[in-house]
Structure 1
Amino acid sequence: MSRTVYVNGAYLAEERAAVSVFDRGFLMADGVYEVTSVLGGRLIDFGGHMARLRRSLDALEIEAPVDDDELLAIHRELVARNAIEDGLVYLQVTRGNPGDRDFAYPAPGTTRPTLVLFTQDKPGLADNPAARTGWKVISIPDIRWGRRDIKTVQLLYPSMGKMMAKRAGADDAWMVEDGFVTEGTSNNAYIVRGGRIITRQLSPDILHGITRAAVLRFAREAQMEVEERPFSIEEAQGADEAFVTSASAFVMPVVEIDGVRLGDGAPGPVARRLREIYLEESRRAAL
């Protein structure tokens, strides 16, 4: 059965959905996006995703097409129409179609932003078998632009990084700049040493992860020690354990980095416990 998607105010069968060839999201990657997880038919961390969406739109001077209440209604309608129990809702806002291709932005107020949402059905999303075995990651140079804190649709290099990892027999890649890990291709990166959780501090160098913020809050509430600073691949390879966080992977243990096994090669206790806490608390607060 065809999915129902949302495009600029209309709910459509996916095969009927379209945007202009002159849309700046297509021509210039001039747009931002968010992905919200759905567990038990309810939205996880929705408020955090909408706050980051507004931040990204403001940074690029793109007008918000609708308010948060309407976005919530659209999310819920798509979840209902597509009978999503566990899965994802993808949202993208672009600067829209100014009528032709031009490097310069269209004048404010002259072009309607494009708003697209669709769902992805992911039965058993929270029961990913990989969480019981852990991921293997490789390291790659971070050659992205300098504003990684804006969640733009410029995802070519992260996609290339995913493919580099796949070809190396790994699950993901950690990007490295000036000798230190920035983040994974679509997640924030962490190591654990002596029970202390270490992750890079917020800056334009990394995405300000919504799952990251929640996990660090839960960790501190559970009396776990958190240190926000850069770490190198070499330090990570000597760590007791490691993990990543994202909206779709939640808390995912990492058991191998560039061929070096961490600990006994199994997910560590800190990552396992944080995954349990995150899923429990997020389900409780879901909309």
Structure 2
Amino acid sequence: MTDRGFRDPNKSPIPVDKSPFPARRPALDSTAYVNGSFVPLSDAKISVLDRGFLFADGIYEVSAVLDGKLVDNASHLARLERSVGEISLRLPETVERITEIQKELIARNKVVSGLVYLQVTRGADKGRDFAFPKGDVKPSLVMFTSEKDIINAVSAKTGINVITVPDIRWERRDIKSVALLAQVLAKQAAAEAGAGEAWMLQDGYVTEGGSSSAFILTKDDVIVTRKNSNAILPGCTRKAVVALAEERQLRVEERSFTVEEALAAKEAFATSASLFVQPVVAIDGKKVGDGKPGPLAARLREIYVEFAKATAV
């Protein structure tokens, strides 16, 4: 385990982002949704007293868009409902209405391939108090879109390097909280190292990536990924990939694995809504397999893309 992710206070920050992934910043003239209104993104604002801003008291989700349609969105919204339930936060709109808003944003912004981000927070109270608001404070709901060519990403063909960092997050990682500082530090460490992702380690075992689920393929052709628990986020893409693999009679084991096991594996890969299936070709500068994307990761990516296109709504 390295100590990356913890910055030396005497060291000057390195602002250069060396990540192989292209920027996905939404256009400032695009349309966002804020608490019942569609507004220009440049005018999208919430109160400084919003509890998401003050306490990270909120939940978020990201759904992929292909051919102007939402990919596996029901799974993402089911996870949203679970996450808000875990922190006693009510949704200000029904799931059906949230889906309508997502689709309206895709249409207004003419998104063919990209992402829809949504965030719900406990809203703005009259002041700053750690305890939940006692009055009738309506939760905030914000959404926006960004464009990304997920299918033709160069890194899907070349694979990515990952670095390892200590997992310094809280113990309820199954909740998709907007409190992402630990992941920010991990992803920044990866960017400074010229890597595409950071794999977080706890007690010598890989938990997950900064914004992805981690997989390996053993020498015995077993796909291994950590079992869902409070230690990791239950990835929607992870869930779909595991199901698609099992449908094809591929062996899958949900258990923890070490970096040493990953380096001894045939292949490694990561999954997420914004990556789909991404080959991992090196960990901390050491090759996985022959240091090139493996055939299983490539095939699982093809299978997932087929699934995404066939089921998108």
TM range (shorter): over 0.9
Deviation at 1:171, TM superposition (A): 1.2
Q: What SS does the aligned partner of 1:127 have?
A: coil
| Residue 140 of structure 2: aligned partner | 114
Letter in 2 for 1:81: R
Deviation at 1:169, TM superposition (A): 2.1
Alignment of 1:64-143 (within 5 A): 64-107=91-134, 110-122=136-148, 124-143=149-168
Identity percentage over the alignment?
A: 52
| Residue 281 of structure 1: aligned partner | 307
Deviation at 1:255, TM superposition (A): 0.3
Residues 112-146 of structure 1, C-alpha deviations (whole Å, 9 max, x = no match): 00000000012x22110101010100111001000
Deviation at 1:240, TM superposition (A): 0.6
Q: What SS does the aligned partner of 2:170 have?
A: coil
Letter in 1 for 2:207: T
Matched, 1:167 2:167: no
Alignment of 1:1-287 (within 5 A): 2-107=29-134, 110-122=136-148, 124-193=149-218, 194-287=220-313
> Where does the alignment leave 5 or more consecutive residues of structure 2 unmatched?
1-27
Aligned mates of 2:190, 2:37 — CA distance in 1: 38
Segments ≥4 residues shifted beyond 4 Å: none
Letter in 2 for 1:155: L
Aligned mates of 1:57, 1:233 — CA distance in 2: 33
Report if the CA contact (8 A) 2:263-2:289 is conserved: no
- The number of aligned residues is 285
Aligned mates of 2:208, 2:268 — CA distance in 1: 12
Aligned mates of 1:176, 1:60 — CA distance in 2: 26
Q: What SS does the aligned partner of 1:251 have?
A: strand
Report if the CA contact (8 A) 1:195-1:270 is conserved: no
Aligned mates of 2:216, 2:44 — CA distance in 1: 42
Q: What SS does the aligned partner of 2:246 have?
A: helix
Residues 132-179 of structure 1, C-alpha deviations (whole Å, 9 max, x = no match): 010100111001000000001011111111111121221111000011
Residues 73-113 of structure 1, C-alpha deviations (whole Å, 9 max, x = no match): 10110000000000100000000001110111112x61100
> Where does the alignment leave 5 or more consecutive residues of structure 1 unmatched?
none
Report if the CA contact (8 A) 1:196-1:227 is conserved: yes
Q: What SS does the aligned partner of 2:151 have?
A: helix
Aligned mates of 2:253, 2:197 — CA distance in 1: 24
Residues 164-223 of structure 1, C-alpha deviations (whole Å, 9 max, x = no match): 112122111100001100000000001101211001000000000000100000000111
